[in-house]
Amino acid sequence: MENKSIVILGATGSIGTQTLKVIKKLQGFEIAGIVFGKNLNLARNIIKEYKIENYYSPFYPNYKFSSLEEFLEALHPDIVVSAIPGFDGMISSLKAIKYTKRLALATKEALVCAGPFIKKECKNNNVELIPIDSEHSAIFQLFDNFVERIIITASGGAVRDKKVSKLSKLTPKDILKHPVWNMGKRITVDSSTMVNKAFEVMEAYELFETNNIDVYIHPTGTVHGAVLLKDGTVKIHFGFPDMKIPIAYSLTYPERKYINPNWPEFSSKNFDFCEVSSEKYPVFFYGKSIINNLSKRIAFNAADEVAVERFLKEEIKFTKISEIIIETCERINEKVNSIEDIIEIDKFSREYARNI
């Protein structure tokens, strides 16, 4: 059987580099090409190490391809791994659907800001949409028609064991120490505000078409998700927090070909759960309350990106991130009929959030 060809959008990021490692370990897959952003040094190393012939970056135009569309058109890969963070990732995911058979999706913003458009485009082009995120991959692996409720877990980020009264004093340095996952800066801050988890609830709402979603704080990150079935059965997805596992699954689905026989201990410390505090994570509850309002979700994402940037530059306090997001979302309430509408709401929200 011929190898399946893969294009990675966002090859130099955390998901991108782990995807490269996974493909190296798997049989039957090959890298058709990579797309990267500004990290030219890392991209050069990857191109050399993995002997990659086709690559594209909007920041460093390559002689072969003048646009992402041209690049994808030339390669027509079996699978596109979509791992460009932020609003750009949403746009490139949408573009990629036309040129592949499977979209393995890590970019949260794709479903958060454009869920209905992404799903419609996948349906029209007969493209499989497979989530990469550990929580959604877990639910995707357990989901069936009899699910009544979904549970996903959250680390609680760096603020989990801090007092609410101390939150406003936390610096970027404090926040960037994440207890479980080693990730990019924005997503690490988003873990601490639980904006990240609000995004995941929005994504789960799009992927599994239910708003019956509960979130528990779970320090070890060993339980990724669970489904509660109508008959009283619960299926739980358990394992080490290692993104390579759901990345591999998104490539090999419906089979499993990744060999990694390491499982966490069956011990109660790996099954510690508690409720999410509305005092500590107010913006999470706000995010959960707007899951069926697409315009507010777009504003939520845009304002968060701006607010996190401002926090990382030490322009604002940690607790101000949530305030900026909520204030921006409250300003927005629109019908979203097109990608142009998304772009416009995104632009307006960023501008608004910058000036709060």
Binding site for a copy of itself (CB under 8 A): 141-142, 145-146, 148, 151, 216, 226, 228-240, 242, 245, 248-249, 255-264, 266-273
* Contact indicator for 36, 43 with CB cutoff of 8 Å: yes
Residue 234 to residue 216: CA distance in whole angstroms = 15
For 4, phi then psi, to 5°, come to -85, 135
CA angle 238, 233, 147 (to 5 degrees): 85
Toward a copy of itself, which CB reaches closer, 229 or 316? 229
* Contact indicator for 113, 297 with CB cutoff of 8 Å: yes
Q: What is the b/e burial string over 323-354, where b = at least 16 CB atoms within 10 angstroms of the residue's CB?
A: bbbbbbbeebebebeeeebbeebbebbbebbb
Residue 348 CB, nearest approach to a copy of itself (Å): 40
Toward a copy of itself, which CB reaches closer, 37 or 131? 131
Toward a copy of itself, which CB reaches closer, 149 or 320? 149
Toward a copy of itself, which CB reaches closer, 15 or 226? 226
Residue 41 to residue 45: CA distance in whole angstroms = 6
Residue 7 to residue 190: CA distance in whole angstroms = 27
Residue 343 CB, nearest approach to a copy of itself (Å): 38
Best CA proximity match to 34, nearest among 20, 22, 21: 20
Toward a copy of itself, which CB reaches closer, 242 or 323? 242
Residue 7 CB, nearest approach to a copy of itself (Å): 23
Contacts of 261 (CB under 8 A, 6+ apart): none
Toward a copy of itself, which CB reaches closer, 58 or 239? 239
Residue 287 CB, nearest approach to a copy of itself (Å): 21
Residue 208 CB, nearest approach to a copy of itself (Å): 17
Residue 225 CB, nearest approach to a copy of itself (Å): 11
The token pair that represents 234 in the structure block: 């619960």
